[in-house]
Amino acid sequence: MSNRKKELSRRSFLKTGGAATATGIALPYFLPSGVLGADDAAPSERLTFGFIGVGGMGGGHLRGMRGRMDRGQANIAAVCDVDEGRLENASRAAGPQADVYRDYRYILDRDDIDAVVISTPDHLHALQTVHAAEAGKHVYVEKPACCTIEEGRAMIEVCNRNHIAVQVGSQGRSQPEAYLSHRYLANGNIGDVSRVDCWHYPSPQGGTAPDRDPPENMDWDMWLGPLRYRPYNPGYAHGTFRWMMESGGGQIRDRGAHVMSCAMWWMGADGTGPVEIEATGRAPSRGLWDSAVTINVTYTFKDPDWVLTWNQPGNPVPPEERTGREPGGRISRPGYGALYTGSDGTFHHWGGDGGTWAERKAREWEPGPGAEDVRRSPGHMEDWFHGIRTGEKTIMNVEAGVDVSILTILGNLSFVLGRKLHWDHSKREIVGDEFARRLMGRPERYPYVI
């Protein structure tokens, strides 16, 4: 493939596309401690990145990395997207040194690329993460980490076997007020927490346009990837993919992957899972989109005993009045968050992603002598760089990211099946329900297979 790659110019590949062969497995390597440290790092110490998916979040990540490149901290070697319009914009943002591709496998085949940032639709996250890990690339992948339980288990196995530093894009854990919330709860300010109730507004109904030919500038087959083939419909792409169960999963998988990530982190519950999951809700009554309009899920944890709930809609706490001059700024997304109930009181926060706002009492709490401190992220991307340099687990590592995704998957499965599910987290599998177990995975369309 390397020879073919050299024959394609940046612009000609935009027009011709093409499919690459399967990637080989490259052994990971140790990086010097100065990688992505100070400005103007030595060229030999700068990581080289490829970007797979350069739309909304991917475009933001690319612009952030371009700033680091301009400061001499990183290199951007390639950008990739199935949409030529997005790819043209990304090419301009990345700079003339970056090659452009439709097919992500060309990026993975390059020996000069150390790490990839994956910001494609949800149904491609696991596939591209596994392929990147097999090629020895470190991975930043947007949330949710996976769409099926089997995908998540494959991600964990391959990434750990190849010593890949993974950061899943549930960036709420890395926000300044998330640190204050975590510290406040860890020091027992509301006692022993017995339940966490997440709230969110309903998912939309829609997708009523007829099928049509895909846009000329879009590689529809590659956008579908492992999904069963279906004709193009604007109700599927771009951002509307999240309202389909097989490619998104609704609000619980979109925002739930943020707010439940915070809950698992602050409760010290990483590495654990519920024993029972029970969901009720209402499916759409019209249109193409099939994710739950309303859904309420109860997750029961044991040893220690506590309950996590997802409520769509729930009972949102009205936002605090803020001046806008506070470090976290005004609360711009009060429509989702969580209420923590403990033996000695309650605590709540709004948001849970790049905007995470803590209740005032947590922000103003001053730790006294002997107070417990908690991990403080230097920033979600910076924490990933640290993981690449040192081999230490990132704050939203592959196990944590997969397990939060599994929570959302189990909630949707319980809703679709209309019954309670039982979960064995030690094996990451549904137990006692053979039909539900068959839904832990799904067929993959060749050649987009894990």
Classify 120 as helix, strand or coil.
coil
Question: What secondary structure, in 3-state letters, does 218-280 show?
Answer: ECHHHHHCCCCCCCCCCCCCCHHHHHCCCCCCCHHHHCHHHHHHHHHHHCCCCCCCCCEEEEE
**Statement: residue 17 has pLDDT above 70:** no
Q: Where are the alpha helices (DSSP H) in 314-371?
A: 360-364
Does the structure show a pLDDT above 60 at 97?
Answer: yes
Residues forming beta bridges with residue 79, ordered by sequence position: 51, 100
Length of the chain: 450
Strands 99-101 and 74-80, sheet pairing: parallel
Is the pLDDT at 331 greater than 50? The verdict is yes
Percentage, residues of the chain above pLDDT 90 = 88
pLDDT exceeds cutoff 90 at 23: no
Query: Residue 368 region, left (φ>0) first, then alpha (ψ -120 to 50), else beta?
Result: beta
- pLDDT at res. 39: 56
Helical (H) or strand (E) element with 92: helix 84-94
446 residue type, one letter:
Y
Closest-CA residue to 383 (of 178, 157, 171, 94): 171
- Domains of the chain, start order: 2-171 (3.40.50.720), 173-374+398-438 (3.30.360.10)
Residue 112 pLDDT exceeds 70:
yes
The radius of gyration of the chain from alpha carbons, rounded to an integer in Å, stands at 22
Cα distance between residue 413 and residue 306, in whole Å: 21
Cβ neighbours of residue 81 under 8 Å, at least 6 residues apart? 52, 53, 54, 55, 58, 87, 90, 102
Cα(279)–Cα(417) distance, integer angstroms: 9
Dist. CA 169–CA 153, nearest whole Å = 18
Bridge partner residues of 270 (DSSP): none
Average of per-residue pLDDT across 111-139: 98
DSSP-derived secondary structure for 376-404: --S-HHHHHHHHHHH-PPPTT-HHHHHHH
- pTM score above 0.85: yes
Residue 11 has pLDDT above 50, yes or no: no
Contact assessment for residue 145 and residue 152, using Cβ atoms and an 8 Å cutoff: yes
Say yes or no to pLDDT of 431 above 60.
yes
Residue 24 — pLDDT band, cuts 50, 70, 90?
Answer: very low
| Residue 334: per-residue pLDDT | 94
Q: What is the DSSP string of 137-198?
A: -EEEEPSS--SSHHHHHHHHHHHHHTT--EEES-GGGGSHHHHHHHHHHHTTTT-SEEEEEE
Going from the C-alpha of 293 to that of each of 79, 133, 251, 327, 415, the distances in angstroms are 35, 35, 9, 35, 11
Residue partners of 300: CB distance under 8 A and separation at least 6: 274, 275, 276, 277, 307
Predicted confidence (pLDDT) at residue 190 exceeds the cutoff of 90: yes
Q: Tell me the average pLDDT of the chain.
A: 91
At 7, is the pLDDT very low, low, confident or very high (cuts 50, 70, 90)? very low
CA distance 403 to 145: 9
SS3 for 119?
coil
Average of pLDDT values for 325-345? Answer: 92
pLDDT in tens, 131-180: 999 999 999 999 999 999 999 999 999 999 999 999 999 999 999 999 99
